[in-house]
């Protein structure tokens, strides 16, 4: 018996036998251990959603690229639009540009999520403002697939100021960091394009991390934890 069968029943996910079999054989997670940064499989991902409410809005599109051996694998990318029944157009369409016709022709949500998790494999996820993507992906996996997300997320929006404390980046958004690193991306607010833009920044940051004496995943997480505490203290949170 799958130990997460109860989760599937609770979430209401109605899966075929083939989908259940795929779910049961999804790859394990990559722990934050002594794996060197250059040897870790890092999946840089971005979600386009129907809105910003992590309790009600839906994942509409997933884009992801892989960083391995210190480089972006341009031949290994993931991009998919998910089918959503009774999808309602909101002002978010002005940002993501996903037409209702694309949603109507999208891939079954359970199959799309299975494809994505199989594509991602044993990895650490990276994203810009990762907490939002993590929450949205966690809920979608629970509701559409009856699966519990356990993968670790690293936030590029935290890594950037931690490793580049003297950077002048305005509000510190993805566009700001692209400009700071002199990167060009003409297709922003498309999940795949945003994932690639984030991955390009991540490559620069990983190089800086190694140069600053951060050799592996555990050391990176430790440094990020220390940076968060200092930021909290400086803001008067203690």
Domain boundary assignment for the chain: 28-234
Q: Which two tokens stand for residue 95?
A: 């940002």
Q: How far apart are CA 65 and CA 22, in angstroms?
A: 22
Q: What is the DSSP string of 88-103?
A: ---TTHHHH---HHHH
HSE-CB of 224 using CA atoms within 13 angstroms: 18
Question: Encoding tokens for residue 164?
Answer: 């580049």
Residue 211 reports pLDDT greater than 60: yes
The predicted structure's pLDDT at residue 97: 65
Mean pLDDT of all residues in 102-117: 96
Q: For 116-162, how does the pLDDT look when each residue is reduced to its tens digit (9 = 90+)?
A: 999 999 999 999 999 999 999 999 999 999 999 999 999 999 999 99
What is the C-alpha to C-alpha distance for residues 115 and 26, in angstroms, rounded to an integer? Answer: 10
Q: 147: which DSSP letter? A: -
Residue 67 backbone phi and psi in degrees, to 5: -110, 120
The confidence band for 108, taking pLDDT boundaries of 50, 70 and 90, is very high
Dump pLDDT digits (tens) for 191-208.
999 999 999 999 999 999
pLDDT band (50, 70, 90) for residue 220:
very high
Among candidates 213, 187, 212, which has minimal Cα distance to 200?
187
Helix (H, G, I), strand (E, B) or coil at 124: strand
- Mean local confidence (pLDDT), 103-110: 95
Q: Between 8 and 181, name the one with better pLDDT.
A: 181
- Of 195, 218, 215, the C-alpha closest to 207 is 215
Tell me how far CA of residue 182 lies from CA of 14, 169, 174, 179, 209, in angstroms.
46, 12, 12, 5, 19
Secondary-structure class of domain 28-234 per CATH: alpha beta
Tens of pLDDT along 162-178?
999 999 998 899 999 99
The reported pLDDT for the residue numbered 64 is 98
Predicted pLDDT at 107: 97
Task: Give me the DSSP letters along 47-79.
Answer: EEES-S-TTT--EEEEEEEEEETTEEEEEEEEE
Which residues have a Cβ under 8 Å from the Cβ of 192 and sit 6 or more positions away? 46, 63, 64, 65, 77, 78, 79
Instruction: Please name the helix (run of DSSP H) or strand (run of DSSP E) that holds residue 46, with its range, or none.
Output: strand 42-49
pLDDT at 184: 83
pLDDT, tens digit (0-9, with 9 covering 90-100), for 26-58: 999 999 999 999 999 999 999 999 999 999 999
**Percent of the chain residues topping a pLDDT of 70:** 88
Residue 141's pLDDT is 98
Helix (H) or strand (E) holding 206: helix 191-211
Widest Cα–Cα separation across the chain: 54
- Contact present, 125 and 152 (Cβ < 8 Å): yes
């Amino acid at each position: 018996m799958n130990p997460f069968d109860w989760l599937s029943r609770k979430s209401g996910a109605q899966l075929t036998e083939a989908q259940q079999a795929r779910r049961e054989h999804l790859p394990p997670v990559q722990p934050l251990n002594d794996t060197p940064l250059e040897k870790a499989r890092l999946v840089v991902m971005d979600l386009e959603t129907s809105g910003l409410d992590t309790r009600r809005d839906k994942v509409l599109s997933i884009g992801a690229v892989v960083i391995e051996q210190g480089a972006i694998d341009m031949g290994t990318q993931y991009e998919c639009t998910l089918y959503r029944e009774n999808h309602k157009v909101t002002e978010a369409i002005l940002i993501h540009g996903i037409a209702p016709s694309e949603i109507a022709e999208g891939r079954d949500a359970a199959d799309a999520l299975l494809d994505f998790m199989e594509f991602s494999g044993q990895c650490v996820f990276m994203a810009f403002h990762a907490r939002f993507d993590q929450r949205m992906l966690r809920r979608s996996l629970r509701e559409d697939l009856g699966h519990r997300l356990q993968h670790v997320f690293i936030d590029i929006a935290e890594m950037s100021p931690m490793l580049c404390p003297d950077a002048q980046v305005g509000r510190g958004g993805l566009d700001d960091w692209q400009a700071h690193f002199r990167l060009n991306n003409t297709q922003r607010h498309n999940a795949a394009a945003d994932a690639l833009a984030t991955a390009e920044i991540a490559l620069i940051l990983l190089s800086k991390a190694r140069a600053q004496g951060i050799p592996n995943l555990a050391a990176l997480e430790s440094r990020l934890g220390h940076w968060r505490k200092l930021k909290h203290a400086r803001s008067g949170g203690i």
